Structure 1
Amino acid sequence: MKRKLKIKELLFEILIFFFKRKKSNFNNKITKILVVRQDNRIGNMLFITPLLKLIFEVYNVKSDVLVGGRFYKIIDSNPNVNKTLVYNQKEFIKKPWKFIKFILEMRKVEYDIVIDCKNAFSFNNSMLTLISKGKIKLGFENNLSDKYLDFSINFDELLKENKHEYEYLAMLLLRFINENREIPKMEYYYSDKELDKKSYNIVIHIGGRGEKSLKANLINELVEEILKKEDKVAIIYGPNEIDKVNNIKNLKGVIKINPKSIDELAYYIEKSEWFITPDTGALHIASALNKNIIALFYNKTFDRYGPVTTGKSIVIKAFEKLDSEILNEIISFFRKVN
């Protein structure tokens, strides 16, 4: 892994030679800003929404946002976004001429500020920040940041403040302008406004892979308890969880749903009274929609990635509990708040 990183850093240094920084002609008249978050994770897309709103509040500018090809629609409908630049890496590998066209189009615009949102060296994100035309480039410190960034802050130092992930990105701008402002919350905006599906009071999201997933046995026991008071429970799963969902009992009142889009997933979350989920992108959608959330964490990152909501939410530290203890904590929480 370290060797692979070294090779990427070496390639990046070669790119630096061809895209050397010119002396900045930066001034306080800001009209064009590029936010670079080449990523294919739901949460990482939502984490930049407070930064986008903060940019608009500070400069009255809607940002261009450079994103990955999978979940860009989460950003596409955001009112603080001017334009999304979709970096579809898989397509570019197969069709390199499209990559060249993408870079040439991007470089037609000279931005006043370019913001690299990755908190560590990432070849794609750093490369796109380097190649973009920007008078001032902001980001987090890494081994090569002094060679392509004009302003950077140490992410490890920020972590000592014990904030949520979305706050760290916003703080990058706040440190640059040297101001203390209230950081906006995450936001979710639908791209498909015509959704009209059934709704369910309690929605359980199976989760993803490994520690970001709920065990089928735990879900079965939880569903049986919920059905004692509820008529229906919706089980949400993705295309990679088909084997797991087959292990969930087909009880009367259990509805299993494989959403066909992120908007459809968001719809079921928004319409629910309670959303139960492990640490996944769906959790961050629920936070952005300000829902009642029961979040199960099988790692110790709950402070950094846990639910951010004014609703009746709880974080269950599943990594230190047996399934029976997790179940009892969920049921006790329901009894307390209902």
Structure 2
Amino acid sequence: MLKNLERTFKPLIYKLLMKSAGKKQNPGALNLNPGSRILVIRLNRIGDALVTTPFIRYVKAATGCSIDILASTYNHFIFENNPDVSKVIVFEKSYSFMKKLINDVNNSGYTAVFDLHDDVSTTVSYLLAKFRVPHIIGLKKDNSILYTLTAERLDSETNHVIDRLLHIAAAAGINGAKDDVNVIYRIKENSEKRAAKVLDEKFGEKKFLLGINISAGSMARFWGVKNFRLLLRRLEDYNLNVLLMSSTRDLSLAFEIQPDKKKVFYTPDFDEFAAMVKRLDMIFTPDTSTVHIASAFSVPLFGLYVRYMTNDMIWSPYRSDFEKIVTLEPNLDNVTFEDVENKFLPFLEKYLNG
């Protein structure tokens, strides 16, 4: 009931906020240096956080400024081991937290706030309206009066999400080198050690290691028990080790697909999952956050993508070599085993025989 009330009143609150908010004054050029401090806002999910890390690296390398992050309870851990981030603030949806946050931001000497959200958020709009920071920067959208500078949206059909975020930095006059820009995720030492130990226990002989991840954010991107079984059977023709990877939510499905539990890897810990991805020679996945982890460690990837009712470019790995199958349907039901076999096996063989 509370969620329904929130959905009902949010549009009204947003309209009142826009009517009462005065247009922010442009203070002139943004000049960031090692003595400057900025706040980057990126709420939402894990994938949203991962695609933000190249922006952070780019700004840090170009200016040397101190960068704090306002993140969500769902994605804050992506930033917590990042060498370019000075402080991570975990957003809480409460009046007392927002009151304290606004006071802290207004008294912390920030030079700029960057809102990296594509869409308008009532919560973020409220914060931006209350922040008293010289520069407030974001994409041009319905709440543009809350920014001192807006960046035009790059075409989402032809520009990678990471390039669209870097464009915000460029619009603010931050110009650096893009050649080495990539997703950044730093794995903890304990997770690295556990991944190495698990692989030693599961596979005695070292061979090409292929990870087959069956899990994604929603069941719409689950390819089906039968299809995964057929894939494992087909892969028996190759000289490689195959590790079936799953979230704890999908563990029963994983054991249906692969009864040999020794060849299944699962963990509720994202850091441990990332450590395992890093050790793979290739990964097969329907999950976009896994795509970005693969990119961070240059792991070749085969992706299954659902692009339903959108023309946006898929969230492909920014730096890794990849192959893909894209369906325009709301789920993967129409993607046959033969479809995957015909595209995936040549991609796999390129690395096995290379």
Fold in common (TM above 0.5): yes
SS at match of 1:81: coil
1:250: Cα distance to partner?
A: 0.6
Aligned length: 324
Shift of 1:11: 1.2
Q: For 1:220, what is the secondary structure of its paired residue?
A: helix
* Residue of structure 2 aligned with 1:325, choices 306, 327, 339: 339
Q: Assess if the C-alpha contact under 8 Å between 1:110 and 1:135 holds in 2.
A: no
Distance in 2 of aligned mates of 1:337 and 1:62: 41
SS at match of 1:172: helix
Partner of 1:265: 273
CA gap 1:108/1:19 in 2 versus in 1, 3 angstroms: farther
Work out the percentage of aligned pairs sharing the same amino acid: 18
User: What is the aligned partner in structure 1 of residue 151 from structure 2?
Assistant: 153
Extract structure 1 runs of 4+ deviating beyond 6 A: 3-6
Structure 2 match to 1:176: 172
Q: Please, what is the CA RMSD of the aligned residues? A: 2.9
Secondary structure, aligned partner of 1:188: coil
Q: Deviations over 1:270-309 (max 9, x none)?
A: 0111111014211111112211111112327684411223
Native 8 Å contact 1:203 1:272 kept in 2: yes
User: Partner of 2:117 in structure 1?
Assistant: 118
- Among candidates 169, 185, 188, match of residue 185 of structure 2: 188
TM-score relative to the length of structure 1: 0.84
Distance 1:278 1:59, change over 3 A: same
Say whether 1:32 aligns with 2:37: yes
Q: Secondary structure at the match of 2:256?
A: coil
Is residue 62–residue 174 contact of structure 2 (8 Å, CA) maintained in 1?
Answer: no
Once the two structures are TM-superposed, the CA of residue 324 in structure 1 deviates from its matched residue by 1.9
Q: 1:28 to 1:154 in 2, by over 3 A?
A: closer
Partner of 2:254: 245
Partner in structure 2 of residue 305 of structure 1: 315
Q: 1:211 touches 1:299 (CA, 8 Å); kept in 2?
A: no
Query: Are 2:126 and 1:127 aligned?
Result: yes
* Partners of 1:302 and 1:315 within 8 A in 2: no
- The Cα offsets for residues 45-90 of structure 1, whole Å up to 9 and x where unpaired, read as 011111111111222113111100122121111111111111033x
Query: Which deviates more, 102-111 or 22-31?
Result: 22-31
- Please list the CA deviations of residues 91-129 of structure 1 after superposition, one character each: whole Å capped at 9, or x if unmatched: x3xxx4344334433332232111110111112233333
Amino acid at match of 2:67: S
Change (3 A) 1:326 1:136: same
Render the CA deviation track for 1:13-66: whole Å, top value 9, x for unaligned. Answer: 444577656645566553011111122x21110111111111112221131111
Q: Which amino acid letter does the alignment assign opposite residue 239 of structure 1?
A: T
Q: Aligned with 2:250: secondary structure?
A: helix
Q: Unaligned 5+ residue runs, structure 1?
A: none
For the residue of structure 2 that corresponds to 1:169, the secondary structure is helix
- Letter of the structure 1 residue corresponding to residue 167 of structure 2: M
**In structure 2, what is the equivalent of residue 235 of structure 1?**
244
Contact 2:43 2:49 in 1 (8 A): no
Contact map agreement 2:26 2:148 (CA 8 A) in 1 = no
Closer/same/farther in 2, CA of residues 256 and 132 from structure 1, 3 Å limit:
farther
**Aligned AA for 2:258?**
K
Runs of 5+ consecutive residues of structure 2 not aligned to the other structure: 204-208, 329-333
